[in-house]
Amino acid sequence: MASRSDPPADNTTASTQHSSAARQTITPELRRWLIEQAQAGFTKTVVLQSMRDAGWDAQLAADALHITLQDHLDERAVPQRQPAAVPVPEPRLDASPAQLDCGDRTVNVLLAMDRPRMVVLGNLLSPEECDALIAAAGARMARSLTVATQTGGEEINDDRTSDGMFFQRGESPLIQRIEERIARLLNWPIENGEGLQVLHYRPGAEYKPHYDYFDPAEPGTPSILQRGGQRVGTLVMYLNTPEKGGGTIFPETQIEVAPQRGNAVFFSYASPDPSTRTLHGGAPVIAGDKWIATKWLREREFI
Ligand code: PD2
Ligand code: ZN
């Protein structure tokens, strides 16, 4: 342990001796002495006693010690690194086209913005395709599960009061055709897509705001990422037009996408981080039902 030395004197006047003045009392000399004492292992009680012995006001000494050590810790703190950005799915919008050729269908561009990276699309699915997806999902619907980020498994989630099911990728000619269209629309390999999910919300049902990427801080995330890496994009397709409510909301930007049969909203997130502003939810359905199909896109092949 370092040998004790005396603290620099308190050179403030009595009238300035209150906590808001403490910062002014921290001369470079005092700061150096306080850090030396802490590094040498002297307790706060011992250091404060030395300061009082040297004529320091007790409160001022305590404040000066607290501020100095906190500042020292802050300076040494390792800045929190943002996860690295990766390539993401993206429609070809550089020349601001009003429409996009998706092979077997021409899709309308209704709105595009940067943060969140979000594009609203019209005419992605035909009315017949919407009805066929709802019919094919029919008997397979069950209370929606979400990925359990603690364990990597699946669980019922009270934030999501809808029924749902997953199609296998390419499981029927209809699913195959829609997946090929999405791959062309978003310039993203079909193999990187999860199976299409259909959700059904009844009146009152909602999906509270959340991020679609897997939180890197959750213990179950590494096991989830083994299948294709992170999610990097979401395409929500509206299979019907609810009477009232049921918009897709982005609370940070106060955007609400109105659900219209055949239309879709796409958003991407190049890093699994709130700075993407992709917090989003499904607003409560007020009247009628709401049916959607969601395609989540991964970094790599999703097996
Ligand atoms: O139903 C929606 O609008 C909605 C909202 C938030 C869907 C999803 N998330 C999703 O499927 O991830
Ligand atoms: Zn979502």
pLDDT of residue 73: 83
Q: Are residues 194 and 124 in the same domain?
A: yes
pLDDT value at 1 more than 60: no
Q: Are residues 13 and 105 in the same domain?
A: no
Tell me the per-residue pLDDT of 282-303, one tens digit each, with 9 for 90 and over: 999 999 999 999 999 999 999 9
Name the DSSP class of 169. Answer: T
Q: Are residues 69 and 123 in the same domain?
A: no
Query: What's the start-to-end Cα distance of the chain, in Å?
Result: 59
Q: Are residues 155 and 276 in the same domain?
A: yes
Counting from 1 in the atom list of ligand 1, the atom nearest the Cα of 294 is 11
Q: From ligand 1's centre to the CA of 112, what distance in Å?
A: 18
Q: Please indicate, yes or no, if residue 87 is contained in any of the structural domains.
A: no
Residues 6+ apart with CB under 8 A from 71: none
Tell me the per-residue pLDDT of 272-283, one tens digit each, with 9 for 90 and over: 999 999 999 999
pLDDT averaged over the chain? 90
Q: Please indicate, yes or no, if residue 88 is contained in any of the structural domains.
A: no
As for ligand 1, residues whose beta carbon falls within 6 Å of it are: 207, 212, 234, 236, 248, 280-282, 292, 294
Domain count, the chain: 2
Q: Please indicate, yes or no, if residue 136 is contained in any of the structural domains.
A: yes
Q: From ligand 2's centre to the CA of 180, what distance in Å?
A: 22
Q: Which residue has the higher pLDDT, 217 or 162?
A: 217
Q: Are residues 73 and 157 in the same domain?
A: no
> In 3-state terms, what secondary structure has residue 21?
helix
Domain stop point among 55, 81, 107: 81
CATH number at residue 186: 2.60.120.620
What is the number of the ligand closest to the CA of 196? 1
Q: From ligand 2's centre to the CA of 235, what distance in Å?
A: 9
pLDDT value at 203 more than 90: yes
Q: Which residue has the higher pLDDT, 182 or 12?
A: 182
Q: Please indicate, yes or no, if residue 93 is contained in any of the structural domains.
A: no
Q: Are residues 153 and 289 in the same domain?
A: yes
Picking from 295, 179, 183, 300, the residue whose alpha carbon sits closest to that of residue 230 is: 300
Report whether 199 contacts 163 (CB < 8 A): yes
- Domain of residue 37 covers 1-81
Q: Are residues 180 and 266 in the same domain?
A: yes
**Which residue shows structure tokens 């079909």?**
190
**250-269 b/e (C-beta count within 10 Å ≥ 16 → b):** beeeebebebebbbbbbbbb
Q: Are residues 75 and 192 in the same domain?
A: no
Q: Are residues 51 and 110 in the same domain?
A: no
Tell me the per-residue pLDDT of 38-91, one tens digit each, with 9 for 90 and over: 888 888 888 888 888 899 988 888 888 889 988 888 777 766 667 789 999 999
Q: Are residues 112 and 224 in the same domain?
A: yes
pLDDT value at 14 more than 70: no
Q: Are residues 169 and 260 in the same domain?
A: yes
Which residue is closest in CA terms to ligand 1's atom 11?
A: 294
Q: Please indicate, yes or no, if residue 89 is contained in any of the structural domains.
A: no
Tell me the per-residue pLDDT of 165-175, one tens digit each, with 9 for 90 and over: 999 999 999 99
